Chains A and B, each alone.
Chain A
Amino acid sequence: MQKYSVFSLIKNAFSDHQNWEVAWKDPTPKKEYDVIIIGGGGHGLATAYYLAKEHNITNVAIIEKGWIGGGNVGRNTTIIRSNYMHDDNALFSEFGMDLWRKMSQDLNYNVMFSPRGIINLAHSDAQMNAYSRRGNSMRLNGIDAVLLNREEVQKRIPMADFSDNVRFPIFGGLMQPSAGTARHDAVAWGYARQADSMGVDIIQNCEVTGFDVTNGKIVGVRTSRGDIKAKKVGLCVAGSTNILAEMLNMTLPIETHLLQACVSEPVKPLLDHVVTFGAGHFYCSQSDKGEMVMGGDLDGYNSYSQRGNLPTLQHVLTEGIAMFPFLSKLKMLRTWGGIMDMSMDGSPIIDKTHIDGLYLNCGWCYGGFKATPASGWTFAHTIAQDRVHELNAGYSLNRFNTGDLIDEKGLGTKTWIS
């Protein structure tokens, strides 16, 4: 594989950048693989990469219905954080933060990781107390957390509404300085390029139509490009998990819901951090191109359509304007939607299943992007060793039977209001 560096850039400039190697190949599927990963999104690509890198398993195929990076890894708002209170989420995410910090070097691909800090705004004394508790829990788990008062928040985001007559005055906020953003497409491409170079077959435009299970053991998958045998199969298809589960006669604690995001026209740099509104559900950051990247609530009903409805967008942006009044002056550049696995406790599932050789990675709700490296790393471990790693032991499928739920938000099973 050609290494990307300033020297290769200069060298290729002499030939008008016409002779760069392709970043990944377009192979035809082989008859059989050791491991098949279904889903060529961030998590699937990362899983294949860590299978090859950490476990020397390279006879691997990634099967993707569309094109890699065309699903949620290309549709998110690129936020990376580990500001969780519960141990399972906190330790998992913080492990991921470490992988994020090393990712550009590790993949030899600039993923533009930008640890610009995330601020969760508080709008009441009670919320300040809750954030203080969450911050302390984070610090006990070795995660950086700073409780900011109103003046400290105002210094960092003076454009927020600090006037006297607001419905939700800003009391302060909880900041995780090491949180940030990364270039989402680069994450997919970086993992794809490295996985490909280590022998992983990335098979695009290949839809799974069924599974071959014999005596409770997975033996292969049926696809639109023919049957492929496999010793192990991993599902990494957030948004479409229920469709594949139905082919396996499995019913999961997951509903598929629609989430929208949007960006404004680009403006000069003004917002240094990722900021979330504490009196509703709205988050905002500024991209390197200058666009304000915004998102919020789910559309609120089961959906597999990757396009949203205006009432939710209006609701979310109303909250945005309450937080940052200047947003009302900006034109909207793009809006889009993606479909999420909403799990019944708001936390993901990375586990074995009752079918031998079949592994499940799903239920990311709308926190999937930041989890990409840690999810891939732990899922690769679970597949390669046929047992869960301690980092994903809490993300078990049977926690809904044992009662060991990880209900970070405590919202219950009404997935559509989370």
Chain B
Amino acid sequence: MLYIFCPHCGSRSQNEFAYGGDATVKRPELNKEISDQDWDNFVYLRKSPRGKHLELWHHISGCRQWIKVERDTSTHEIFKTYKADELTE
């Protein structure tokens, strides 16, 4: 069982959360000319690192806020959690 520290609610079990994927993927800016290739890369390409991974989780059965979680993908250790709009280190 993962215990995730929600910045709004405190430590809660993973059962309350839904996963939202890689938080480092950046959507291309609106109204900016970009190539099809760049757009495809944004939609499909993922680094999926072994080790530290910054990811989105949705506290769906709690405060319903999206949060960012820094977690190790090989040990499942959670280092730090952030509010969705908080800048990460």
Contacts and interface: CB of A to CB of B under 8 A. Distances in A.
Q: Do A and B bind each other?
A: yes
Nearest to B51: A304
B48 A256 contact: yes
A344 interface: yes
A416 B55 CA distance: 12
Interface stretch (B26-34, B68-76, B79-87): B68-76
Contacts of A254: 46, 48
A416 B21 contact: yes
Nearest to A310: B1
A199 interface: no
Which of B15, B46, B53 is the most central at the interface, judged by chain A CB atoms within 10 Å of its CB? Answer: B46
Interface string A245-276: 01000011111100000000000000000000
Interface in A333-372: 344
A415 B45 CA distance: 12
B37 A401 contact: yes
Interface residues on A, range: 20 to 34
Contacts of A251: 41, 45-47
Contact of B15 (A246, A311, A415): A311
A20 interface: no
Contact of A242 (B21, B47, B55, B71): B47
Interface of B: 1-2, 13-15, 19, 21-22, 36-37, 40-41, 43-50, 53, 55, 71, 73-76
Which of A242, A246, A303, A309 is the most central at the interface, judged by chain B CB atoms within 10 Å of its CB? Answer: A303
Nearest to A312: B14
Interface string A304-334: 1100011100000000000000000000000
B54 to A, nearest CB: 10
A242 B15 CA distance: 28
B88 to A, nearest CB: 16
A163 to B, nearest CB: 29
Contacts of B74: 303-305
Contacts of A301: 2, 19, 55, 71
B19 to A, nearest CB: 5
B49 A246 contact: yes
12 contacts: A243-B50, A251-B46, A251-B47, A252-B46, A253-B45, A255-B21, A305-B74, A305-B75, A344-B43, A400-B43, A401-B37, A416-B21
Interface of A: 242-243, 246, 251-256, 300-305, 309-311, 344, 400-401, 413-416
B1 A255 contact: no
A127 B55 CA distance: 34
A413 B41 CA distance: 12
Contacts of A416: 19, 21
A359 B46 CA distance: 19
A184 B47 CA distance: 30
B56 to A, nearest CB: 10
B86 to A, nearest CB: 20
Nearest to B53: A302
B21 A414 contact: yes
B15 A253 contact: no
A309 B73 contact: no
A413 B50 contact: no
